Copies of this chain bind each other. A is one copy, B any other.
């Protein structure tokens, strides 16, 4: 056998296309919903994002006990340009002039930079710049008296390594100690200088922090100097105590915290400077840093907090890795403020930027733009249908000498409005999130759910999805709201496949299809997405046998159609009906049944149900019309037990063949080996199946077996809720050899063969079509679920030309009279076209072993074996994107295992994995593009939790 299932080493390829957020590097996204966090975007550079941020700080910090956190993740042109310093200094100036009532502790902190930027800070290069920027006084301790406006100013400085936690230690009281040791602070208290403009005192503090041990070590090791192509710690820090008339010691002061995360020297786009200054930052690292800046700050805070994150350039400007910023920050999905363009042509850019944000799933809470006399807010409001407020800022003075204080004063009411909008949108969001479980509980009727068994507090609120992960709303102890990340390990009913990149591509394509087609009538018509989808299907999953594509909406309808096709084909092949359907009378009717495997599941509409074995799920109280029109065989199955794949034969075969040997496989690939086709077991299967078919014929009278329906490569009964209902999940893989022989025998008897690939199709089991596993072709096959990449419902039934011809004739009555309004809808076909191509292109799917058109092994083999050896584990099936674990039941008490599966999954949800219990089976399902690193990460968590049992 060719490299099927051979676990290949991960090869590094040169990929042409940048993919943002490769899953393994992304930190687990988590942030508190205790206070508003907004991202400030703009439709272009230089539209005033920083002015808006500074303006918000002046608006928000107008009373005590408040904290305004300003984050600038990416700063180019540093240190000459520093938006965080701008906010810091403009706020300080504004405060000094306008806020007599209370005190604010303001700081500005630059965490990391390129070596070049650092050099600029350390060297004299910046000195020169400083001369032009004396009122900012960033660099070097320097008491500057007699500056512009004749006010004294102490410039603080801190050029050294400092981690965030070191700084926090300072703020928490360690600072007090430092302060005592700091000679300059004597100045602080003595220097209350009256007589300044507006007659209010100004205090400036100056503080030199020690570096943290970690940062110091890095310096001592010389590592920083050597690795010049990296981003290095900078830890530039400055702060000032801005005191009003109130008593500083008596009341909690407010805080302005400004932070620049990364600085580069050249004033170009981050992707360019990162390259030119050899100082890249990977997306995952950046997000981790951002998360840190958010989390640590908010932890130790009381009172009201407002946080804004200012992006660099326009919404789709690349970050340092080349990822577009709107993609880069998407995992957080913070609500957005869009700074628009008030200039000529600015309406267009603003609308397009808004659309780019929407196309990434962002909520834009307000648009704000500078007045250029063109009333751009008019058309913008109209376009936004007044759902998003558009605020207008007064024209910004352009003279370099203007310190903007009058402008900030003039704009203050607008900033107040903006702040109000932001606060109220935040409150709306959190209160809605909090109320959703109750509302859902009151008005939803969930499928397959006994509502009595789902208390309100068990309802999961899904705020969004990014690739394979949910963002989930939680209210944890102390009544604290937060958003946390959970890997969607049930692939949302096995539909999901896209990573974050594909999801955004699909969003754009789906938007395009909606705009270009909406939905258009299919019969007798043709349009591009339907045609291209059909072509791809026939070249792909239908290759070598299928020639016709019949569209419908879901797996169940695809099966109903397949059954209608198969039964008609059978009637024709066996001459039960004449060519002229109208003329045939009722007497020739026979009772048609299907042949299927026990435990099969094909959908919940009546026709699909009829092809399934009876169960409580098909019972009289579920569907009083169900009869069960099938013969159901027990199949031999395979699963991994204690590190070895074991074959279990059904009772009947075992009894008749007591001497069958070789019932274990050391490697999974051996199960699929072609050599088994000529084995002794193949003969045994053949004989068994022939006997079974004979038995059916003998006992049936007028009944005929009109179709075979199987799931090729069928892995286990997770499909079927029967077992869940009974508290125990079956979990095993049907022996592919058995399926192959079954198909062959039915072919011999001219029984049309249907493959139900609704679950198995499109890489779910590691190959595009599961026919790979049993190495034979059907007459009819059904696909759905992952076909659209998991975006919208769409299903197809593929058929061979011979099947199609049973419906061709002169009469419309002979045609297949089954259809749904949205048959071949353009949106679904477009999503399918994109997904089918994406998954099978090695440029976009890095898991592809392109020679074999198979996925590489996603689940670490050693770890899988380790898990199978755990005492709590009975057996496992690992194949393609699926890793299922059956827990050991205590004796026959599957219910017990099912109970502890539930508590296990609860713990795993806390670990960030969203699983659904299936009795005593738990499973992980990833997408075709999910990195093996992510899979291992998941598997490790499962291993740890299973070990605790």
Contact = CB atoms under 8 A, between A and B. Distances in A.
| Copies of this protein in the complex | 2
A49 B943 CA distance: 60
B524 A621 contact: no
A736 interface: no
Nearest to A437: B526
Contacts of A568: 621
Given A317-B347, A345-B44, A526-B461, A625 B592 contact: yes
Interface string A355-373: 1101111000000000000
Given A322-B379, A447-B522, A557 B560 contact: no
B607 A525 contact: no
A791 interface: yes
Contacts of A523: 446-449
Interface string A390-419: 000000000000000000000000000000
B605 A556 contact: yes
Given A517-B462, A624-B589, A793 B817 contact: no
Given A436-B531, A508-B355, A619 B581 contact: yes
A516 B269 contact: no
Interface string A486-504: 0010101111101000011
A516 B361 contact: yes
Nearest to A822: B793
Interface string A473-495: 00000000000000010101111
A298 interface: no
Interface stretch (A184-192, A544-552, A667-675, A760-768): A544-552
Contacts of A385: 17
A443 B534 CA distance: 7
Contacts of A706: 624
A623 B571 CA distance: 11
A440 to B, nearest CB: 4
A511 interface: yes
Contacts of A817: 447-448, 604, 617, 622, 721, 725
A375 interface: yes
A516 B525 CA distance: 33
Interface stretch (A78-86, A283-291, A803-811): A803-811
B560 A790 contact: no
Interface string A529-566: 01100110010000000011111011111001000100
Contact of A521 (B493, B550, B792, B810): B493
Contacts of A344: 45, 268-269, 313
Contacts of A584: 620-621
Given A493-B821, A512-B359, A445 B520 contact: no
A610 B606 contact: yes
B793 A352 contact: no
Contact of A356 (B272, B351, B506, B789): B351
A778 to B, nearest CB: 16
A725 B504 CA distance: 45
Contact of A462 (B488, B526, B605): B526
A447 B313 contact: no
A629 interface: yes
A554 B605 CA distance: 11
Contacts of A316: 347-349, 351-352, 383
Contact of A347 (B269, B347, B504): B269
Interface string A766-802: 0000000000000000001100011111000001000
A462 B385 CA distance: 31
B503 A507 contact: no
B495 A519 contact: yes
A805 to B, nearest CB: 10
Residue of A524, A547, A556, A629 contacting most chain B CB atoms (<10 Å):
A524
A35 to B, nearest CB: 21
A271 interface: yes
A827 B791 contact: yes
Contacts of A623: 564, 567, 607
Interface stretch (A139-147, A159-167, A450-458): A450-458
A577 B348 CA distance: 65
Nearest to A526: B440
Nearest to A725: B812
Interface stretch (A203-211, A256-264, A463-471, A637-645): A463-471
Interface in A800-836: 804, 807-823, 825, 827-828
Contact of A44 (B348, B520, B620): B348
A85 to B, nearest CB: 21
A464 B515 CA distance: 9
A721 B820 CA distance: 12
A600 interface: no
Given A547-B443, A553-B554, A617-B817, A514 B506 contact: yes
A850 interface: no
B490 A521 contact: yes
22 contacts: A44-B348, A316-B347, A349-B352, A352-B353, A355-B355, A361-B512, A446-B523, A447-B816, A447-B818, A453-B810, A462-B525, A465-B518, A495-B822, A496-B518, A507-B512, A507-B514, A557-B557, A581-B621, A607-B607, A622-B816, A791-B827, A793-B793
Pick the 3 closest A-B CB pairs, nearest first: A314-B348, A447-B819, A511-B511
